[in-house]
Structure 1
Amino acid sequence: MPDQDHTKAQLLEQIATLQQRVIALELTVTQQQQVEVALERQVQAGTEQYQQAIAFDTMLKRITDQVRDSLDESQILQTVVQALGLGLGVDCCDTALYDLDQGLSTICYEYTTLSAPPAQGKVVQLQASFHQVHPQLLQGQCVQFCEHGRNPIRPINSRVAILACPLFDDQGVLGDLWLVRCQPDGFNELEVRLAQQVANQCAIALRQARLYQTAQAQVVELEKLHQLKDDFLNTVSHELRTPMTNIRMATQMLEVSLRQAGLFEAEPSRVTRYFQILQEECQREINLINNLLDLARLDAEVEPLVLTTIQLQVWLPSITKPFLERTRNQQQRLELELAAVLPPLITDRSHLERILQELLQNACKYTPAGATITVTAQTTATLLQLSVSNSGVTLPASELTRIFDKFYRVHNHDPWRHGGTGLGLALVKKLVAQLGGTIRAESVADQVTFTVQLPLQPQPLKPAATAS
C-alpha cells in the first residue's frame, strides 16, 4: 500500500506540472496573439500613415503647381482654401490678408461645410484676437488649439479643433490660413506639416503676384509718362513750326539784302560764318520739328499707304546719286550692289525713299574718311532685302539695343561733327513697320550694317493704290 500511495502522489504531481505547463503555454499563446495583433495594428497604422504622406505630397504638388501658375492674388487664395479644405476633409478653411499698418486682418476667401454665417469679408484686429492667436502668427508660428463657441468670427455650438498657419516669407507675414474641424482630436503631424507647406507656397505665390502687379503698374505709369512726353513734343512741334518757317524766310531775305549791300565778300568773313551757322541751326530745328510731326502721324496710324510699283534697278541709283558728292567731299566711297534681277516692288514710294535717305545720311555721318558705304539689294521669292553698311566703325552691343530709340544718339562715333536730332533711326523703324517689314542693326568686323526686309507685294488694310 505504501508503494501505491507513493506512485499515486507522483502521478498527481506530474499531472499538476503538466497543468501548469498547459496554463503557461496558453498564456504564452495569448501573449503572442496580443503581440501579433499589436504588431498588425502598428503595421496598419504605419501603412496608413505612409499612404497619407504620399497622398499629402501629391496634394501639395498639385496645389503648388496651381498657385505658381497664377499671378492673380484672388485666384491663388481661392485655390488654396478650396483644395486644402477638400483634401483634408475639414469643416472650414479660410485665408486672410493682413494690413500691418492698420493692424487689421481681412478674411478674403472661405471654404465651409458649416451652416454658420459666412466669415468672408470680416475684419479682425490683430492685437485683439481671441486666444491671442494673431500675435503668435505674426511671429511666424503655427498655432493649434481647441475652443467651444467663443469664436466671434464663426460661432459654432460644439467643441472644435483649429489650426492656424501664417503666410510668411523672408520679407514678413502676408496673412494667415485657418483650418477648422468639428472634432476635438485635432490635427496630426502630417496634416500640420501639409498646412504649413501649403501656407509657405501660398506666401511665395502671393509675393510673386504682388511683384508682378507692381511691375505692371510701373509699366502703365511709364506708358502714361511716354504718352505725356509725346503729346508735349507734338504740341510744341506744332507751335514751333510756323515761327521757324518764318525765321527761315526772314533769313533768306536777310541773305539777299546783305549780298546786295556787298557785305558778303569773296573771302569768307566772320559775318559769312555767322550767317552760315544761323542757316544750319535753323534748318536743324526745322528738321527736328518735321521728324517729330512725322513720328506723331505714324503713331496715330491714320494715313493710308499710297502703293506704287517701283522698278528697283532704276529707282535705287536715283536715290543714291545725290549722296555721291557728299561722300566725295568727305573722302568716302559709295558703292551700289544690286542683284542681277530685281522684281518690281509694290510699296509706298515716299516711305521707302525716306527710309533709304535716312540710312544713307546716318552712314555718311558716322563713316570716317577712306571708308566705304555700301548699298545692297537682293530678293527672295517674297521679300526685298535692302542693306546699308559702312566700314571703319564698330558699335558695341549696348549701342545696338538702343539705336532705334527716340532721341538716342551714338556716342563718340561722329567724326564729322554733324550732330543730329536722334530721331532719324526711330523714324526709319516706324516707317519700315508701317510697310509691313522689319529692320535690324548688326556690327561685326569693323562694319555696321542696317538690313531692311520688306514684302514685295504687301496687302495693307487701307491701300490707295496707283501705278507708275
Structure 2
Amino acid sequence: MGTAPGSNPEEQNRENENKDRDREFEKFSRATHDFASKPQDAEIATTTAHWEQTKPGTILIVDDTPDNLLVLFSYLEEQGFKVLLAEDGETALKIAQSKAPDLILLDVLMPKMDGFETCRRLKAKLATKEIPVIFLTALSETVNKVQGFKLGGVDYITKPSEQEEVLVRIQTHLNLRNMRRALTIQNKELQQALDFEALVRRVTDKIRDSLDEKQILETAARELAIVLDLSTCQIELYNLEQTTATIAYEHSITLPECQGRSRKIADFPELYQQLLQKSPLQLVEPIPEFNPQGIQVNRLACPVFDDRGILGNLWGLRPPTEVFTELEVQLMQQVASQCAIAIRQARLYQASNKQVEELAKLNQLKDDFLKTVSHELKAPMSSIQLATETMKTLLATKQNPQKSATFQRVLQIFHESCDRQKQLVDDLLTLCYIDAKAKTIQPELIDLHLWIQELIQLYLQRTRNHQQQLVLDLAAEPLNIAADPMILERIVRELLQNACKYTPASQTITIQTQAHESEIALCIINTGVEISAEEQKLIFDQFYRIPNNDPWEHGGTGLGLTLVKKLATMLEAFVDVRSENDQVVFCVRFPKKVKEL
C-alpha cells in the first residue's frame, strides 16, 4: 500500500513550516510594498520616483529550462522590463557582472552550479552584492529555504506561479531596492551636509582669527579642496579697477599650477559679466596649460563679495563628468562670503598698520627736520656772533679799523651770513606755504624763448667771473607754456644757481628747450661734473647736499631742489635728473597743452 502525500509526520511538519514562513514573508512583502507605495518621507518618495523614471528595470532570469525562460521573458517584456536570460550559474555571474541588472530571478536546482552557490558568489562580489535575488523553485522540489535567505535571497517564487504574483513580487523588491538607494543617497547627502557645516565652522574659525590675507586664502583653498575632493581650488582677486583677475592662491592636486597668473576681464566678457553681478556659475572648459591640450574640467565659480563690493572669485575644478551639487554650491558660497569678511578685516588691519608706520615715519621726519632747521639757522647766527665779537675787538684796539683787512673780512662775513639766513628763512616759508599757494596761482601764457633770454642776463656776469660758458640751445619752433611767471622764475633760478655753483672753470652751462609730441622740456645742462645714481635718488630730499662738490664754496640751504620739485608740481610739470658722460641734466617737463586763461 502506498503512502499518501504528507502522511510522513516529519515531511508534514516541514511542509507546514514552509507554508507558515511563506505566509509570514508574504505578509512582510505586502507591508513593505505599502510602505514603498506610500512613503513617509517626501524626499525619499521624490528620489524613488526619480529613480524609477530615469532607470527602467532590468531583470536577469536564470533557469536551465528553456520553456520557463521563454514564458517569463515574454511576460516581463510586455510589462516594460528589459529582460536578460541565462541557462546556468556561470553565465549568470558573467551577465550580472557586466550588465548590473536591477533584480535576478534565480532557479534553485540547476546542474553544475545550483542557485544557492550562484547566489553566494553574487553576494561575494562588490559589483553584484546589492542586486536582489528571488529564488525560483518547483512546487514539487524540496529545498532549504532558510539557507537561501541566509545566502542573501530576498524572496521565493514557486513554479508554476501566477504571472501577476511574479510581477507584484518583482515590483515590491525593486521598490525596496530603490528605497534603499534613496535612503543611501539621503544619508550620504545628510552626512555631506554635516561635513560641510563643520567645514564652514572650521574655515570660519581659522580665517576669523587670522589677519594675514595670504594665510586666509591658503586656509580656504586647502580646506575646500580636501572636503569637496577638488582637483584644484583657486582664489582669484580683482585689481582696483576690476580690469584684471589674478590667481592669488591655489591648492592644486592633479592639474598644472596657475598661481600668479592674470587674465583681462575684457577677454572673457560673458564669464565675468555674471560673476561681477555676484552670481555663481558652473561650466565645462578646456585647460590650455594641461598637456596633452584639450583636456576639459568642470569649473564652479563663486564670487567673493560683501556689502562694500566684490573682491574676486573662488574657483573649484573637477573632471568634466563630476557636476557640483546644489549643496556643494551653497558651501562654496558660504566659504566665499567668509573669505570676503576676513580679507576686508586683514586689509583694514594692514592699512591701519601702514598708517601707524607712516605716522611714525612722519614724526621721525618732523624731528629730523626740526633738528636740521635748528642747525641750519644756528650756523649763520654763530658766524654773525663771531663777527660781532671780532668787530668789537677791532673798534676797541685799533684806530681807523675800517682800513683794516680784518675789518673788511668781518663785514663780508656779516653780509654772507645775513644773506644765508634770509635765504634759509625764505625757503622755509615757501616750503610751509607752498600747498596753500598752489590754490591761488594765476598761470599766464609765456613765450618761453623770449622769457629765457631776459632771465639769463642776470647770470652772464656771474658765469664770466667763474670762467664758465653760458650757452642757449633753443628749439627751432616757438614754444609757449601756461605757467605762473614768478614760480617759473624761481625754478629756473634755482637750477641755474646750482649749475653755476657746481660747474668747474672752463666748463659749459647750457639752457636747452625741446619740443616733443606730448611735452615741452626746459633743461639746464652743466659739464665737468657727474652725480652718482645713489645721489640722484636723494638730491630732491630736504637739506640734502652733494658732498665735496662745490668748487666755489658757495654753500646752500639744502632746500633748493626740494622747492624746485614742489613748485614744478604746482605748475602741473615734473622734474627729472640724469647724469652721464661727465655732465648733469635737469629737465622741467611741461605737458603740451594750452590752458584757457
TM-score, normalised via structure 1 length? 0.51
Distance change >3 Å, CA 233–CA 366, structure 1 → 2: closer
Pick from 529, 534, 540 the counterpart of residue 393 of structure 1. Answer: 529
Partner of 1:270: 406
Partner of 2:356: 217
Partner of 2:581: 445
Partner of 2:79: none
Partner of 2:449: 313
* In structure 2, distance between residues paired with 1:39 and 1:333: 104
Spell out the pairing of 1:24-103 with structure 2 (5 A cutoff): 26-37=116-127
* In structure 1, distance between residues paired with 2:451 and 2:444: 12
Letter in 1 for 2:409: R
* In structure 1, distance between residues paired with 2:343 and 2:453: 62
Q: Secondary structure at the residue paired with 2:125?
A: helix
Aligned-pair distance for 1:375? Answer: 0.7
Letter in 2 for 1:288: L
Q: Secondary structure at the residue paired with 1:404?
A: coil
Letter in 1 for 2:121: Q
* In structure 1, distance between residues paired with 2:431 and 2:449: 30
Contact 1:404 1:429 in 2 (8 A): yes
Are residues 1:435 and 2:571 paired?
yes
Are residues 1:325 and 2:461 paired?
yes
Contact 1:438 1:454 in 2 (8 A): yes
The C-alpha deviation readout for 1:245-287, integer Å capped at 9, x for no partner, is xx89x99xx9xx99xx85344xx72222222122112211110
Distance change >3 Å, CA 74–CA 324, structure 1 → 2: closer
Distance change >3 Å, CA 343–CA 270, structure 1 → 2: same
Aligned-pair distance for 1:316? Answer: 0.6
* In structure 2, distance between residues paired with 1:350 and 1:262: 45
Letter in 1 for 2:361: L
Are residues 1:414 and 2:504 paired?
no
Letter in 2 for 1:278: F
Q: Secondary structure at the residue paired with 2:419?
A: helix
Contact 1:73 1:209 in 2 (8 A): no
* In structure 2, distance between residues paired with 1:39 and 1:410: 90
The C-alpha deviation readout for 1:176-203, integer Å capped at 9, x for no partner, is xxxxxxxxxxxxxxxxxxxxxxx9xx99
Aligned-pair distance for 1:320? Answer: 1.5
* In structure 2, distance between residues paired with 1:448 and 1:342: 26
Contact 1:347 1:456 in 2 (8 A): no
Partner of 2:489: 353
Aligned-pair distance for 1:340? Answer: 2.2
Larger Rg: 2
Spell out the pairing of 1:49-198 with structure 2 (5 A cutoff): none
Distance change >3 Å, CA 298–CA 40, structure 1 → 2: farther
Contact 2:449 2:479 in 1 (8 A): no
Q: Secondary structure at the residue paired with 2:497?
A: helix
Distance change >3 Å, CA 229–CA 412, structure 1 → 2: closer
Distance change >3 Å, CA 208–CA 319, structure 1 → 2: same
Please, which runs of 5 or more residues in structure 1 have no aligned partner? 1-17, 90-198
Contact 1:344 1:456 in 2 (8 A): no
Q: Secondary structure at the residue paired with 2:440?
A: coil
* In structure 2, distance between residues paired with 1:426 and 1:416: 22
* In structure 2, distance between residues paired with 1:293 and 1:34: 96
Structure 1 window deviating more from structure 2 (28-37 vs 381-390): it is 28-37
Contact 2:438 2:570 in 1 (8 A): no
Contact 1:438 1:452 in 2 (8 A): yes
Contact 2:495 2:524 in 1 (8 A): yes
Letter in 2 for 1:327: T
Aligned-pair distance for 1:363? Answer: 1.0
* In structure 2, distance between residues paired with 1:316 and 1:347: 14
Percent of matched pairs sharing the same residue:
33
* In structure 2, distance between residues paired with 1:427 and 1:214: 31
Q: Secondary structure at the residue paired with 1:376?
A: strand
Contact 1:73 1:206 in 2 (8 A): no
Distance change >3 Å, CA 406–CA 340, structure 1 → 2: same
* In structure 2, distance between residues paired with 1:84 and 1:27: 47
Aligned-pair distance for 1:314? Answer: 2.3
State the Cα RMSD in Å: 5.2
Are residues 1:425 and 2:564 paired?
no
Contact 2:501 2:550 in 1 (8 A): yes
Distance change >3 Å, CA 35–CA 229, structure 1 → 2: same
Aligned-pair distance for 1:453? Answer: 1.2
The C-alpha deviation readout for 1:297-320, integer Å capped at 9, x for no partner, is 112346511333333332212212
* In structure 2, distance between residues paired with 1:308 and 1:28: 105
Letter in 1 for 2:401: L
Letter in 1 for 2:354: A
Distance change >3 Å, CA 26–CA 223, structure 1 → 2: same
Q: Secondary structure at the residue paired with 1:393?
A: coil
Aligned-pair distance for 1:336? Answer: 1.1
Partner of 1:110: none
* In structure 2, distance between residues paired with 1:79 and 1:398: 39
The C-alpha deviation readout for 1:112-158, integer Å capped at 9, x for no partner, is xxxxxxxxxxxxxxxxxxxxxxxxxxxxxxxxxxxxxxxxxxxxxxx
Contact 1:309 1:344 in 2 (8 A): yes
Contact 1:384 1:453 in 2 (8 A): yes
Aligned-pair distance for 1:442? Answer: 0.9
* In structure 2, distance between residues paired with 1:36 and 1:381: 79
TM-score, normalised via structure 2 length? 0.41
* In structure 2, distance between residues paired with 1:378 and 1:75: 48
* In structure 2, distance between residues paired with 1:397 and 1:406: 18
* In structure 1, distance between residues paired with 2:573 and 2:516: 14
* In structure 1, distance between residues paired with 2:420 and 2:559: 12
Distance change >3 Å, CA 292–CA 79, structure 1 → 2: same
Contact 2:216 2:342 in 1 (8 A): no
Letter in 2 for 1:454: F
Contact 2:123 2:129 in 1 (8 A): no
Aligned length: 301
Distance change >3 Å, CA 25–CA 457, structure 1 → 2: closer
Contact 2:109 2:115 in 1 (8 A): no
* In structure 2, distance between residues paired with 1:88 and 1:370: 79
Partner of 2:253: none
Aligned-pair distance for 1:77? Answer: 7.5
Are residues 1:370 and 2:502 paired?
no
Distance change >3 Å, CA 28–CA 382, structure 1 → 2: closer
Contact 2:520 2:590 in 1 (8 A): yes
Partner of 1:114: none
Aligned-pair distance for 1:455? Answer: 4.0
Distance change >3 Å, CA 274–CA 39, structure 1 → 2: farther
Contact 1:402 1:408 in 2 (8 A): yes
